[in-house]
Structure 1
Amino acid sequence: MAQGTYIRVHVDSVEKPRYRTRKNEIATNVLGVCTPDMQFIYVLPGWEGSAADGRVLRDAINRRHGLKVPQEFYYLCDVGYTNGEGFLTPYRGQRYHLNEWRQGRQLATPQEYFNMKHSQARNLIKRCFGILKKRWGILRETSFYLVRTQCRIISACCLLYNFIRNELPTDPIKSGVGKVCSVEDDKEDSGEVIRHVDTSVTWTAWRDNLAQEIFKTWMSSRNM
C-alpha cells in the first residue's frame, strides 16, 4: 500500500509558498509504502506540500536507491496517483470510503465492490501513519529544525516504528488507533522493475477484469 501524508515543517518565509498545502498548512508531502503486516518498507520525506502525489511517486521510482516495484507486482494507491502498471487505484466517480457502506447502501456494480475491497485493504497504510503520528509528538507539531534535519527525524521515527512493531508483542498505541527502508544498498536489481508510472489500455483492462472477477465471486457466494 502506498500513500502520501502531510507533516508540518518549519521553513524560511521565501520557501513557504512551495510548502503550503491545499489546507493552507506549511508541510512536507511524505510518501509512505507499507506491507500487509503494517511495516514501512519505503519512506520519502522532503517534497514540498504543494507537490502532487503523482510527482512524488515518480521521483521515488526514478531515484537510484528509490522505490522498487518488480514486474507483475503492484501497490494499492489512492486516486491521487495514476492507475498504471505497478500502482492500482480505485475507480473515480464511485463510492470509495468505508463509511459510505456503513450507512446501509447496497453494492450494485463491479466498480463499487472493487472500490470497497480496495479501501479495506489500503486502510492499513492510513493506520500506519495514524500510529506513527500518535506515537511521535514531534510529527504532530511544527518543529524549528532545518528541513533536512526534520526529514531525517521523520525517517528515524519510521525506523523506530518498525522496530517497536517487531519487538513489542502488543502495541498499546495500535489498539488505540484501530524497517523504514529506502532499499538503499549497492546491489544491482535482481529482476526487471517498473521505471515509469503511466496509464495504459492494458492496465485499465486488467483492472476491469479483476473488478468483474471478484464481483462475480462475491455474487456467487451470496447466492449459495
Structure 2
Amino acid sequence: MSNYILVEVNVVNRQKQQYVTIKGTKEGLTLHLDDTCSFQELLAEIDAKLTSNKDPEETPLIGVRLKVGNRFLTKKQEEKLRDVIRSKKNFLVENIESNVVTKEQAFQWNKQTEIVPVAKMIRSGQVLEVEGDLLLIGDINPGGTVKAGGNIFVLGALRGNAYAGLQGKQDAVIAASLMKPTLLSINETINRAPDITEQLESSHEMECAYIDEEEQIVIDRLQVLSHLRPMLTRLERRM
C-alpha cells in the first residue's frame, strides 16, 4: 500500500491595510490619510471610499478636511487630491493640514513669531514696523508710530501711536513703562486719545493694553497679563 503524505496549505487572507479613515463631524467630513503609502495608493483608496459612501440622491455640498500627517504634498499633488474629491460632485476640499512645512513657510513663521529688539527713540513722523513682536528700548514721541504683526513691548514712554496684531492677532497686547499714547490699535480695534485718557490714572507702574471680552481695548496693570495671556510666557512653557 502506498503511503500518502497529506500536506495542508494554509492560505492567510490578510486584511488590506486601510490608508484612509473617514470621520464625520458637524462641519462635514475629516479624512485622515496614511503618510507611509504611495501617493497613488492614497488616491485610489480615496476614490473608492468616497464612491462607496456617495448618496445616490442629490445631497447638499459636503465640506472635506484632509489631515495628511507627515506627508509633504507638492502643489500638483494637492490639486490632484482636490480633483479626485471634487469629482464626487457633492464633496469639496476646505482645508489640507500637514505636519510638514517648506523652508519658506518655516522662515515666514519664524519672522512672524520672533521678538525683534530695537534700541532707539521714535520721533514725530517716524514709523517702525516689524512682522513679529516688537521690543522697543526707548520712547515713542507724539507723532511717532510703531507697528507689529504681534505684540508691542516698550521699555520707555509710549506717547505716540502703537498698532499691534497686524497679522490678525486679536490676542495681541501693547505694554509700556509709561502709557500715554495718542492712539492704540490691536488687530482692527482702535482707541484714540479721548477714549484712552478716560482709562488712565497717574501710575508709576508698567501698564498694558488688550482687547477684552466686549471687544474693547482696555488698559490695566502689567501683572494681569500672566492670567489673561498665559501664552506669552514661552520660556516657562518649555521648562
What TM-score, normalized by structure 2, do the two folds share?
0.22
Query: Structure 1 or 2: larger helix share?
Result: 1
Higher strand share: 2
Query: Larger radius of gyration, structure 1 or 2?
Result: 2
What TM-score do the two structures reach when normalised by structure 1?
A: 0.24
Which has the higher relative contact order, 1 or 2, with Cα contacts under 8 A spaced 6 or more apart? Answer: 1
